[in-house]
A and B are shown apart, each in its own frame.
Chain A
Amino acid sequence: MIPVLFVVTILVFSIIRFIPGEPARLILGEKATEQAVAALTEKLGLNEPLLTQYFLFLKQIFTLDFGNSFTYQMPVSELLASRFPVTLALTLMSTVISLVISLPLGYFAGVHKDKLGDQVVRTTSLVAISMPSFWVGLLLMIVFALKLKWLPAGGWADTLPEQFRCLILPAITQSLMTSALLLRNTRNSVVDITRMDYVDFARSKGISAGEVRSRHVMRNAMISTVTLLSMRMAAMLGGSVIIETVFSIPGIGKLASEAIFGRDYAVVQFVVLLFAVLVLVINLITDILYSFLDPRVNL
């Protein structure tokens, strides 16, 4: 993990240096004077040798002093700290919704393999996988916010219950593809596992059906589900760029797209770095979960 993190910092560091042309000129626009461009280049530290620049960048990371955002005129660290909890809440909420939908339905479809219920569940999930999230989000917005007026159409609120209401539609949108993928995966695992000899053995020992289901079938089905879930959580963090833009939610996803449009490179760098760190943390948690689910796995 540490070597990966190290290379990730090099990659993120390269972002601003890879951009064709002068970054300072891109930030300030076509009409900026030569002096202004030179001053900003100096301020961004882009005149230093690359190695020095990289060490300065590392120093920024370790001291959590990420410099100032050009558009927001505030420290990037404060910006990230205020935006991150929103995306975290959105991702967790989407994850919970996905699990609540996919595990029971996946089990149901797996047990009733090839019956009508299974066919319906499988086809629905296939359709859900192929839907563009931003379109589904807009449709939900039209129906539940604009027509029925049950939920806010987007934006953010000041109080916690209102903020929760603001997250409902985005979280449902975000969870759509994850639910569908998890469902298919759970279904297939359940189909494979119920065929296993140890399930027959457990039944023949006289263990109750419920216990066979929870201790033997679902627990083993969870192993591949956890792998997929960790991949999906990473993907949902990425998807937050789109969902948060659709619903105007002030999380790090929206911040990322705004920073890219505003050529706010200080923000771009550290948002991308934050995303990478989050993915690595998710992977670490997944590895720990494995050892709980499968006692054969040693950390």
Chain B
Amino acid sequence: MKRYHGASPLERKRSMPAWLTKPSLVVGVVIVVAVIILALFPQLIATYDPIATNTLASNQPPSAEHWFGTDFYGRNIFSRVIWGTRIDLLIGVLGVVIPFIIGGLIGLLAGYYGGVLDSLLMRITDIMMAFPFTILVITIMAILGQGLINLFIALWLVGWMSYAKLVRSEVLVLKDSEFIQAARVAGFSDARILFRHLLPNVISSAVVFAASDVVMCMLTGASMSFLGLGVQPPTPEWGSILNEGRTFITFAWWETFFPGLFLAVSGVGFSLLGDGLTDFLRTKGR
């Protein structure tokens, strides 16, 4: 008698990675991977030292020598933009990962246990929501002072709330469902119920939000540097390169165009990824 090993041809066809069939998701993944490569290995791609000045080559338009032109100090903008990827990606990723973990944990506990923790969470978010996001970040930056570390602290202080609220609302829906009751009846510890049973079921909406939040963090970080509050020159960062180039906008468009282009394309990449992820999780759920 013939026996089948593994999946049947039909099953194998069905199990082809579903995400490959979504073009927007593929484009998103390609852009995001490219951004990560730029951030990891800028020295292999950049043609010049990003902070080396050259007064003889001030404000030069794009050419074969300087692909994106040079800035006022004669620095090669292509190399500055490539090196800038590292800091901007770091802002996007760290600005999301820490709030994701802390906010998610708070949401999980607040939703599951309710009580004081829950009402405290809701009151804090009510009050913080009274301030526009940018104003909140700017005010915290004003208190702490300029710089990358303070930018992170500001993003963390503001960012965790969305995750806490998202996870909390999902936990509230699920915490009295049958499989959680069954786990309780079976005598599992709270920790096990929270992390093994609830967490995997409530995390997907937070993951989807995180992908779009990376874009928000990168944009906010770059805006703060653009205003002069975040990363300080000469450190290459897209927002601060843009800010320096703004002075010469009347004749040197390349100093503002290219760093913004990189920021925009990376943003689109993460948005497409998030959008595709939403579709993917939705179809998978059904």
Contact-residue bracket for chain A: 35 or more
B42 within 8 A of A: no
Interchain CB contact (< 8 A) of A256 among B135, B215, B260: B135
Q: Are A238 and B256 in contact (CB under 8 A)?
A: no
Which secondary structure dominates chain B's binding surface?
helix
Could you say which residues of chain A place their CB within 8 Å of the CB of B129?
279
Which residues of B, 266-286, contact A by the 8 Å Cβ criterion? Answer: 267-268, 270-272, 275
Q: In the assembly, what is the distance between CA of A257 and CA of B131, in Å?
A: 15
Interchain CB contact (< 8 A) of B134 among A7, A132, A241: A241
Could you say which residues of chain B place their CB within 8 Å of the CB of A245?
227
Which residues of A, 129-179, contact B by the 8 Å Cβ criterion? Answer: 129-135, 138-139, 141-142, 146
Q: Are A146 and B219 in contact (CB under 8 A)?
A: no
Interchain CB contact (< 8 A) of A146 among B24, B141, B250: B250
Distance in Å: Cβ of B142 to nearest Cβ of chain A: 4
Q: Are B139 and A134 in contact (CB under 8 A)?
A: no
Q: Are A241 and B138 in contact (CB under 8 A)?
A: yes
Distance in Å: Cβ of A190 to nearest Cβ of chain B: 18
Q: In the assembly, what is the distance between CA of A233 and CA of B59, in Å?
A: 39
B77 within 8 A of A: no
Q: In the assembly, what is the distance between CA of A286 and CA of B177, in Å?
A: 34
Q: Are A239 and B134 in contact (CB under 8 A)?
A: yes
B155 within 8 A of A: no
A15 within 8 A of B: yes
Distance in Å: Cβ of B278 to nearest Cβ of chain A: 11
Distance in Å: Cβ of A149 to nearest Cβ of chain B: 12
Could you say which residues of chain B place their CB within 8 Å of the CB of A4?
126-127, 130
Q: Are B142 and A130 in contact (CB under 8 A)?
A: no
Q: In the assembly, what is the distance between CA of A276 and CA of B261, in Å?
A: 33
Q: Are A268 and B139 in contact (CB under 8 A)?
A: yes
Q: Are B134 and A238 in contact (CB under 8 A)?
A: yes
A237 within 8 A of B: yes
Q: Are A242 and B223 in contact (CB under 8 A)?
A: yes
Q: In the assembly, what is the distance between CA of A146 and CA of B267, in Å?
A: 27
Q: In the assembly, what is the distance between CA of A7 and CA of B272, in Å?
A: 39
Which residues of A, 271-285, contact B by the 8 Å Cβ criterion? Answer: 272, 275-276, 279-280
A-B Cβ contacts below 8 A, count:
121
B257 within 8 A of A: yes
B120 within 8 A of A: no
Distance in Å: Cβ of B269 to nearest Cβ of chain A: 8
B40 within 8 A of A: no
Which residues of A, 201-245, contact B by the 8 Å Cβ criterion? Answer: 234-235, 237-239, 241-242, 245
Q: Are B222 and A279 in contact (CB under 8 A)?
A: no
Distance in Å: Cβ of A120 to nearest Cβ of chain B: 13
Q: Are A238 and B135 in contact (CB under 8 A)?
A: yes
Q: Are A279 and B260 in contact (CB under 8 A)?
A: no
Could you say which residues of chain A place their CB within 8 Å of the CB of B126?
4
Could you say which residues of chain A place their CB within 8 Å of the CB of B134?
235, 238-239, 241-242
Question: Quick one: CB contact mask for B234-259 with A, threshold 8 Å, 1 for yes?
Answer: 00000100100010011001001100
Interchain CB contact (< 8 A) of A135 among B260, B270, B272: B260
Supposing A130-B264, A131-B267, A256-B138 touch, asked if A138 and B256 sit within 8 A by C-beta, the answer is: yes
Q: Are B131 and A130 in contact (CB under 8 A)?
A: no
Interchain CB contact (< 8 A) of A272 among B127, B131, B219, B246: B131
Among B129, B130, B261, residue most surrounded by chain A Cβ atoms (within 10 Å): B130
Q: List 10 A-B contacts (CB under 8 A).
A: A130-B270, A132-B219, A132-B223, A132-B239, A135-B256, A139-B257, A142-B256, A235-B132, A242-B134, A276-B130
Interface residues of A (CB under 8 A from B): 4-5, 7-8, 11, 15, 18-19, 123, 126-127, 129-135, 138-139, 141-142, 146, 234-235, 237-239, 241-242, 245-246, 256-257, 260-261, 268, 272, 275-276, 279-280
In the complex, besides A142-B249, A279-B132, 17 extra interface pairs with C-beta distance below 8 angstroms are: A5-B130, A123-B24, A126-B271, A132-B219, A132-B264, A134-B242, A138-B256, A138-B260, A139-B257, A146-B249, A237-B132, A238-B131, A238-B136, A239-B134, A242-B226, A242-B227, A260-B138
